[in-house]
A and B are shown apart, each in its own frame.
Chain A
Amino acid sequence: GENVEQHPSTLSVQEGDSAVIKCTYSDSASNYFPWYKQELGKRPQLIIDIRSNVGEKKDQRIAVTLNKTAKHFSLHITETQPEDSAVYFCAARSGAGSYQLTFGKGTKLSVIP
């Protein structure tokens, strides 16, 4: 089955700096890669996603890049703000008719004011 590895497990940045979280996946048939943000005590929220036919997607201060050859994808947050502090999870959905997501273990991002 699919295996997703996420790095780093913790990340501290100064407010205004950029943050990058990286994930690798094992199944070359995976075709959908979402990112979730989970604030303390709340549900994971879908913040951005990318499909395998696209290399990059942006939404204001966040962007996701996908390298299918290397089987890795990354989340980029620019101009970080204290409210970006949360745990971020990447996920991959294997192809072959399965909608199930395999999640990485999460990255705790702390933005220091």
Chain B
Amino acid sequence: EAGVTQSPTHLIKTRGQQATLRCSPISGHTSVYWYQQALGLGLQFLLWYDEGEERNRGNFPPRFSGRQFPNYSSELNVNALELEDSALYLCASSGPYEQYFGPGTRLTVT
């Protein structure tokens, strides 16, 4: 069974640009979660999508947004990039209980 996949693996952007990150969940999972993990720090919850709807968002500004497609894949958009947005962005999908993470996208803002 294929796991959670994310693309791209690495992304380098300049301050002020926009970044788009993509995630495909495990087959059969309808919920997708996005987390930000700055270097050496914990998992900061960003967004939760389920059945195409945004269910909850963490304490992040509106320039962090996303969507979920009919096939349950998801994308995260970060507008007006700032240097402190540099981090590992992890996507996870879940069924009723277990939540599994993708390999992450390393975003570097210069």
Contact = CB atoms under 8 A, between A and B. Distances in A.
Please indicate which of the listed interface residues B42, B96, B104 has the most CB atoms of chain A within 10 Å of its own CB. Answer: B42
Contact of A100 (B56, B90, B96): B56
B33 A100 contact: yes
Interface in B20-59: 31, 33, 42-43, 45, 48, 50, 55-56
A34 B50 contact: no
| Dominant secondary structure of chain A at its interface with chain B | strand
B72 interface: no
Please indicate which of the listed interface residues B43, B101, B102 has the most CB atoms of chain A within 10 Å of its own CB. Answer: B43
Contacts of A49: 97-98
B94 interface: yes
Given A45-B101, A100-B33, 8 more contacts: A43-B102, A44-B101, A46-B98, A89-B43, A99-B96, A99-B99, A100-B56, A106-B42
Classify chain A's interface size. 20 to 34
B100 interface: yes
Contact of B99 (A34, A42, A98, A105): A34
Contact of A32 (B31, B48, B97): B97
B103 interface: yes
Contacts of B103: 42-43
Contacts of A73: none
Q: Which 8 pairs between the two chains have the least Cβ-Cβ distance? A: A43-B101, A105-B42, A103-B43, A106-B42, A44-B101, A43-B103, A99-B31, A100-B48
